[in-house]
Amino acid sequence: MERITIVGLGPLGTSVGLGLKKANLANAEIIGTSRERRNASNANKVGAVDRTYAGLGAAVNGANLVILDADMGETEDLLKTLGQRLEPGTVITDLGVMKSRVVEWAEQYVKEGVYFIPGRPLPKKPIANLEDADGDAFRDCRYCIVPPVSAPEAAVKTVVGLADALGAKPFFMDALEHDSFAAGTSYLPVVLSAALVTATTSSESWREMHRLVSTEWETVSRLASENPEDNHAISKANPELLAQWIDKLIAELQAYRAQIAEDGEDLLHVFIEAWEARARWEHGVVEDRAGPELPTSMQSMGAFLFGDRLMRRQREMSEREKARQWTYDRGGRR
């Protein structure tokens, strides 16, 4: 009998449990534990686990795979504790968004014979609350795995197997590379969103301005409404990488500003490029350094559809240009 233990049972851990139960693994039992009674009873209620234990020791006893669903502070504590206590051969993985730090901790705290293989599933929709927990949350999604150089193949395969069981597509990355990407795409937008709120709401005129607030502000400021403690933790997870991204963004804003203030010729081009880059991402036709992922025929179909959309947009634009000329005639009713 294989034993998989989920430590934490937050929204993500609960989703993993539900996904594993759904996968109907032969000869495996799913155990859960949480410091929060509410999370444990929820996991039992929704059937995310076969059973829960109040004690961490009891829950991980005899486990082949231990999955940590915890924030950074808890993860450090858990690696300290479990890294020494688990039986040789046990594999630990996590679900957190920052990888370099946990790799360092694993080197410090996890004894020989126990293997920590960090992971990060990337669900398509955010899973913020227990109610969002979903066994299909990772289906057809990316599952990023960051195997330490020293990790034995069998341990890596255990985590690949976890991703497979959840219907996710595993792929390997270096911890630092992963973290720089995460800083640019997950944390930079949070800082941006909060900075927009600070800049506008601290303005003298905000008390009147707030009545004019548009959907644009509403959209871009939305992340500032996330739990500020989480936003804070995120910013501190890898401050050097995030600061580099903020610098890059400030440089871009200065370039936009120069074009705007000086009535620069490139401004339309820059907006078109941004529009195009985002559309490529949306349509999944970003050229992949690691080689194409889609079968070639599908990829070129994507490019074709995308090109078509571009052409249509172009046509719409020039029609609008034409429609812009008004004449004052007394043409009849139509």
Q: Does 45 bind a second copy (CB under 8 A)?
A: no
Pseudo-torsion of CA 235, 236, 240, 244, nearest 10°?
Answer: 10
With CB under 8 A as the contact rule, which of the stretches 104-112, 153-161, 279-287, 301-309 interacts with a second copy?
Answer: 279-287
Backbone angles phi and psi of 122, in degrees to 5: -120, 85
* DSSP calls for 213-247: --HHHHHHTGGGGS-HHHHHHHHHHSHHHHHHHHH
Q: Which of 152, 172, 232, 309 binds a second copy (CB under 8 A)?
A: 232
Taking the complex as a whole, how short is the minimal distance between the CB of residue 233 and a second copy, in angstroms? 9
* Distance, CA of 264 to CA of 83 (rounded, Å): 58
* Distance, CA of 237 to CA of 100 (rounded, Å): 9
Q: Which of 26, 261, 296, 297 binds a second copy (CB under 8 A)?
A: 261
With CB under 8 A as the contact rule, which of the stretches 87-95, 101-109, 159-167, 316-324 interacts with a second copy?
Answer: 316-324
Residue list 78-137, contact with a second copy (CB under 8 A): 78, 81-82, 85, 122, 125-126
Residue list 152-211, contact with a second copy (CB under 8 A): 171, 173, 177-178, 180-182, 184-203, 205-211
Residue list 1-30, contact with a second copy (CB under 8 A): none
Residues 6+ apart with CB under 8 A from 123: 15, 137, 138, 141
Taking the complex as a whole, how short is the minimal distance between the CB of residue 154 and a second copy, in angstroms? 26
How many residues touch a second copy under the rule CB under 8 A: the total is 136
Output 18 or 40, the one with its CB closest to a second copy: 40
C-alpha distance from residue 263 to each of 33, 260, 267, 330 (Å): 60, 5, 8, 38
